[in-house]
Structure formats: structure tokens, C-alpha cells
Amino acid sequence: MKNHVLYFNKPNQIRVLEETIPKPELDEVLIQNVQSGISSGTEMLFYRGLIPADLCMDETIPALRHPLHYPFKYGYCSVGKVIETGHPKLNHLLNQWVFVFNPHESYFCAREHQVIVLPKQISPLDALFIPNMETAINLILDSSPLIGENVLILGLGIVGLLTTALLQQFPLASLLGGDLHAKRRELCQELGAEKTFDALHADFCRHVTEYLQNVTPHSIDLIYELTGNPEALNHAISLAAYEGRIVLGSWYGKKPCAIDLGGRFHRNRIQIIASQVSTIASELQGRWTKSRRLALVLKMLENIKPSRFISHNFHITEAQKAYQLLDVKPEDTLMITLTYEV
């Protein structure tokens, strides 16, 4: 058995090394990774070297509590089987399909509280989308969509598509989407969006405004900015209604962000709400916990079945090709996964 471990070696370069298969401690299980998903947002910031040096990778994930400097392991979306335990008290986990927030590697150890045992009705491929679905649900918890509102989603990657699939269940007046890539816009409408717009078009904001004027007297009440492109935040500000809400789900990393706060933003009392999945908003913590959110994540995965959004699959030894594809031809991709079979 080979333990392939993926490292971000330096900007624009990943490296896959063979390492010793770890031995579980008394409070750990050994997991054989079967498939992991690549985050096209966060991981591409790391791949391109656009990461702030003053942060650790992720304070909430034990495997990622390390400083951000090359080389490093990263990834937070692994689905596999428990093949060994460090103590008989953990034997109830043997041969179970599990999800773990863990970097891309063939074998790894985890404690029981770090492992999400998959319900039988959740396929391993759908389970790869647990982090994305958790983010989409958190976006909605942070924004509280209201009946009859006009809503726009900017950025129709995996999180944007899942947010679309969730919001189409709400009694909104209209649900709109914007993205650079035609394939994603088409999927957004298949999932229930009323209309989508080409974000590459020079008159993108005017097209959105004119469309709304033809169907409703009201502007956009709620906008989700999920593009990862700082300029999209200015589009959101220009489109938001008086006292409109902009939920910022993008992480820009070290990308410069010149926000126009001198015009409509100030006069129109627009709100910009930061949404980050590691925590639940304080006003909800009396009723919402991470376990309650996870239960909803699993239910929505069962309903939506997002494994249909997997566009490419590479063996871990060909991971460099996967990252190059995401970097150079994002229009051809949705979710890219890595497999680990020998």
C-alpha cells in the first residue's frame, strides 16, 4: 500500500510524495482515503500564492492548525473507510464510510469526534460536498432571506450552485444569478433560478437592472458575492437596493480590494455582511449549533444529490494536472476530485 501525500510546494506547483502509512494512537482511527475534493476557491488562492502570511490555515480544523508557509499539506474534503483502530473501544467505526476535514493524502489518522459517519442514504460522492453545503447553508443563516425579496447570486461555482438550490425553495419574488461561464449559468437556471447574466459583459449591471425593471418595481434586496473577485463587490454595491444586504462569502486572500464606498453605498445605507462557515452568527447561537447545521447539511445533500456537479476526476499522482486545469480553464470545471486507488 502506498501513502501518497499532496503538498503545495510553492506558488503554481504541487508535489505528491510517498510517505509511511501512519499508525493510529489509542484515541484514533486510521482512514483509507477513497476520494477527496479540491476547493476551487481557497485552494486556488494557496496554489497561486495569494495567502496572507499572518494566518494559520484553519484554526477550527485540527489537521490545518499550522502557519501558512510553503511547503504544506492542505485540503478539507476527504471521504474514505476506517480500516484500523487504535483501541477496541473504537471498533464500532471499522469499515464505516466517513467524511473528515483532512488534506489530500491516501491514509490519515483522526479522532472519533473529527469523523462524520455517513448515513446509508448519503453516497460517498455526495458526501464530498459536505463543506460546500455547510457554507451555502451558513450563507443563508447569515442573510435571513425574506418572502417576496429579489435575490442575486454573483458567482456560480459549487457554493453558488448549492446556494441556488437552497434558495429556490424559498418564496422569493425573483432569484437571479451572474457568472463568467455559460455552463454554470445554465446549471443555475436548471436548479431554479429565474434568469442568469453573463458577468463578462461590459453592461452586466445595466442588463440586470433592466431585466428587473421589466418584471418588478423593486430593486435587489439581497446579493450573495461568491466570485472570489474583489471587483464583483462593487457590482453588488451598484445593484443593491436602498438598505439592501450584501453577503460576502468570498475570501479574497491577498488580492487588493478597492471598494467604492463613496457613492451609493453610503447614501443607500447598504449592509455588507461577512459570512464565514467556521462560526455561527452570535444572534443564532442560542438556537443553532454546528451539530444542528450538520444535520441539515446531510438532509440537503440527500435531497439535492450534488455529485452530479463532479466534472473531472484525477488520480492523486496526477494532481498537478488537476490544479493546472482549475488555474487555466476554470470554465471547463465544476468539482474536481482526486482518487487514491492503488
Q: How confident is the model at residue 57 (pLDDT cuts 50, 70, 90)?
A: low
Indicate if the pLDDT at residue 233 is higher than 70.
yes
| 3-state class (DSSP) for residue 55 | coil
pLDDT at 249: 92
Dist. CA 60–CA 98, nearest whole Å: 19
Among 49-58, 69-78, 151-160, which stretch is predicted with the lowest mean pLDDT?
49-58
Dist. CA 259–CA 230, nearest whole Å: 8
Strands (E), 20-61: 28-38
Task: Report all structural domains of the chain as residue ranges with CATH numbers, in order of start.
Answer: 3-123+305-339 (3.90.180.10), 136-283 (3.40.50.720)
Grid cell locating 254? 491577498
272-317 tens-digit pLDDT:
999 999 999 999 999 999 999 999 999 999 999 999 999 999 999 9
Q: What is the mean pLDDT of residues 130-147?
A: 97
Indicate if the pLDDT at residue 62 is higher than 80.
no
Indicate if the pLDDT at residue 54 is higher than 80.
no
Is the model more confident about 62 or about 90? 90
Indicate if the pLDDT at residue 117 is higher than 80.
yes
Q: Which residues have CB under 8 Å from 335's CB, separation 6+?
A: 37, 38, 40, 128, 129, 158, 306, 309, 310, 311
Instruction: Look over the chain and give the mean of its residue pLDDT values, rounded to a whole number.
Output: 93
Q: How confident is the model at residue 258 (pLDDT cuts 50, 70, 90)?
A: confident
Q: Which residues have CB under 8 Å from 198's CB, separation 6+?
A: 178, 179, 180, 182, 185, 204
20-52 tens-digit pLDDT:
999 999 999 999 999 999 998 889 989 998 877
Indicate if the pLDDT at residue 101 is higher than 80.
yes
Burial zone of 248 (CB within 10 Å; 0-12 exposed, 13-18 middle, 19+ buried): buried
pLDDT at 267: 85
